[in-house]
Structure 1
Amino acid sequence: MTFDALAYTATPHDRAAVLRADPDWVADQLRRDDSQVLPLWRDRLLLTADGHPVTRTGAAGRALAAAAGQTALLGLDGTTATFAADLSAAEEADALRLGAAHASADLRSLAATLPGPLAATLAYARGMLYWNRHTGYCGTCGAATASAHAGHLRVCQGPECGRQLFPRIEPAVIVLVEGPGPRPRCLLARHHGAGPDNFSLLAGFVEIGESLEGAVRREVAEEAGVAIGTVTYRGSQGWPFPAGLMVGFVAQAVDESITVDGTELLAARWFSRAEIVERVVDGPGSGPVDSIGGRLLRSWAGLDGHDRQPRPV
């Protein structure tokens, strides 16, 4: 399997971790004419008339940064800084006016048409602004927090607290379970709320005190009642929707028995490779094209974009 082109993972910038701790340096970057500012509104991109994400420099970029409730330094491309600017406090019409934009859109609706580095940068921006917007108060004492380190740190303003809050990610596993025996089959499940033929891979969040492999075994056993033997890591994908890290695995089932929990899953069954190929080519597909789950399934079927001919079934 090849996972060299997963969406949202190829952020091209030097994140300037040391430099961003200097507020004078950050302020100087915001004043520069060549610095780029990417505006977002309530996790949505702002788009130009021809449908491209808005990027502003010079006076227009500085005006966006000044109007934003929060800015976050995304990094440096050579000597050029890129910032995200959060216009969420404004109404949508006002945000569009501030950005000289024509519409707003969800990033995932555009990911397949955007260059990989740009999609990754915008996802990074979305995740950073979301975290800042939802970390306005300290979880220890309840006092307000203030932004620092160019949006990568929030500091509690409580007089007896001062807790430092750093961006957090939420790791989750996603797994392609292969059936036992020589005939290639994989396990797909229909999750609660999914359509009658909407089957996908199993996934779940990693719990405290748990390894990634342990999370795979627990999630598959809890939701589908399938015992797992070997677990093999395949790749990972940043997933800032809002703060995930998806870690992909292939696992070997010990036997064929399935017992769905009826809560997370409504149904689960084994699919042959031929059935997966048919679903991808002529049926409901293999899941979102921008996700590692879709890549795992297409790769298993021989339809990952690098080998378009299906493997023997």
Structure 2
Amino acid sequence: MIPYSGLRLDRASDRRSDPDWIASLRASPGARLLPFWRDRYAPDSEPVGDEVLLGVADGEGVFAVELAEEPASTVDVRSLFGDISAQESATLVYAKALLHWNRNQQFCGACGGGTRPRHGGNVRDCLGCGKELFPRIEPAVIVLVEHEGRALFGRHVRSDRFSTLAGFVDLGESLEDAVRREVAEEAGVAVGDVRYVGSQPWPFPAGLMVAFRAQALSDVIDVDGDELSEAVWLTPEQVRAHHLPRFKDSIGAHLIETWLAAPRDL
């Protein structure tokens, strides 16, 4: 399973508009509270602060809490990957994302008025103009480009490690067009066939990673120098020698590992 996906929590979208129902969930002794401090999980802290409803699990409400005071210790959610269950990881990154949005949407972008939460923190209303504000997702594509048994990897100007190519989707652009543009812009490689692989919530803070495999039309590389300092074609043996992938919790790791298991072109 792709990390952070497959969350089985019932988000209860059809009942969130009922504050009495949310209050009854919160009043239950079985309600679960996940405390955070500015994007970091604080599992040992008393959960006192602003709360948002994540959903329902086994009939009980699951809430995330933005702590009112800085706790003694916190932990990066990503650092827990592999040490906790897949469901727990997915729940924690969801909690982090929803709290982050509420914390950073205190004012309306249309009129500048203050906002207040509704629907358990999944909507915010502007107190000035009445505009409803909803969480926004920032889609990005990530791609493993293939050519004659090798795969394309780039090294970012601020990194010492190779990775698959990725970039945000522009307005008025399809996902497939974004793949072709990003690969051409960053590595100067022309891409033909593009095949969808899967997607991954990437709430750091609000991304959605959409993964593809693509076929290069040639192996000519011309890096842009702005985002990538280097791009190379690597065989499966070379990929293993570089100890890729570096981060096991990204869909980029899934792309690399599935290619290593069957390294053949589209």
Structure 1 length as normaliser, TM-score?
Answer: 0.81
Of residues 182, 188, 195 in structure 2, which corresponds to 1:232?
195
1:287 touches 1:293 (CA, 8 Å); kept in 2? Answer: no
- Structure 2 partner of 1:263: 226
- Structure 1 partner of 2:163: 200
Secondary structure of 1:47's counterpart equals coil
- Structure 2 partner of 1:296: 255
In structure 2, distance between residues paired with 1:85 and 1:243: 18
In structure 1, distance between residues paired with 2:24 and 2:176: 46
2:34 touches 2:43 (CA, 8 Å); kept in 1? Answer: no
In structure 1, distance between residues paired with 2:103 and 2:62: 19
In structure 1, distance between residues paired with 2:236 and 2:28: 55
Tell me: CA distance 1:108–1:211, structure 2 relative to 1, closer, same or farther (3 Å).
same
In structure 2, distance between residues paired with 1:247 and 1:34: 36
In structure 2, distance between residues paired with 1:224 and 1:243: 26
Of residues 40, 48, 51 in structure 2, which corresponds to 1:71?
51
- Structure 2 partner of 1:122: 92
- Structure 2 partner of 1:162: 130
The percent identity for this pair of structures is 48
Tell me: CA distance 1:185–1:311, structure 2 relative to 1, closer, same or farther (3 Å).
closer
Q: Which amino acid aligns with 1:279?
A: H
Flag structure 1 segments of 5+ consecutive residues without an equivalent: 49-53, 55-59, 94-102, 303-309
Flag structure 2 segments of 5+ consecutive residues without an equivalent: none
Of residues 7, 11, 15 in structure 2, which corresponds to 1:15?
11
- Structure 2 partner of 1:99: none
1:253 aligns with 2:230: no
Tell me: CA distance 1:79–1:47, structure 2 relative to 1, closer, same or farther (3 Å).
closer
1:35 aligns with 2:35: no
How far apart are 1:311 and its partner, in Å?
A: 6.1
Of residues 168, 171, 175 in structure 1, which corresponds to 2:139?
171
How far apart are 1:278 and its partner, in Å?
A: 2.6
How far apart are 1:141 and its partner, in Å?
A: 0.1
In structure 1, distance between residues paired with 2:219 and 2:162: 18
Secondary structure of 1:105's counterpart equals coil
1:220 aligns with 2:183: yes
In structure 1, distance between residues paired with 2:23 and 2:43: 26
Of residues 78, 83, 100 in structure 2, which corresponds to 1:108?
78
- Structure 2 partner of 1:305: none
How far apart are 1:171 and its partner, in Å?
A: 0.5
Of residues 46, 68, 86 in structure 1, which corresponds to 2:42?
46
- Structure 1 partner of 2:71: 92
In structure 1, distance between residues paired with 2:255 and 2:242: 14
1:132 aligns with 2:102: yes
In structure 2, distance between residues paired with 1:275 and 1:246: 26
In structure 2, distance between residues paired with 1:28 and 1:47: 24
In structure 1, distance between residues paired with 2:75 and 2:126: 33
Q: Which amino acid aligns with 1:219?
A: E
Of Structure 1 and Structure 2, the greater helix share is in 1
In structure 2, distance between residues paired with 1:220 and 1:208: 17
Runs of 4+ in 1 over 3 A off after TM superposition: none
Of residues 40, 45, 60 in structure 2, which corresponds to 1:80?
60
How far apart are 1:31 and its partner, in Å?
A: 1.2
What is the number of equivalent residue pairs in this alignment? 265
Give the RMSD, CA atoms, in angstroms.
1.6
Q: Which has the larger radius of gyration?
A: 1
Secondary structure of 2:194's counterpart equals strand
Q: Which amino acid aligns with 1:301?
A: L
Q: Which amino acid aligns with 1:188?
A: F
How far apart are 1:152 and its partner, in Å?
A: 0.2
How far apart are 1:47 and its partner, in Å?
A: 3.4
1:174 touches 1:203 (CA, 8 Å); kept in 2? Answer: yes
How far apart are 1:149 and its partner, in Å?
A: 0.2
Write the deviation string for residues 192-240 of structure 1: whole angstroms up to 9, x where unpaired.
1112xx1111000001100000000000011111100000000100111
In structure 1, distance between residues paired with 2:200 and 2:6: 10
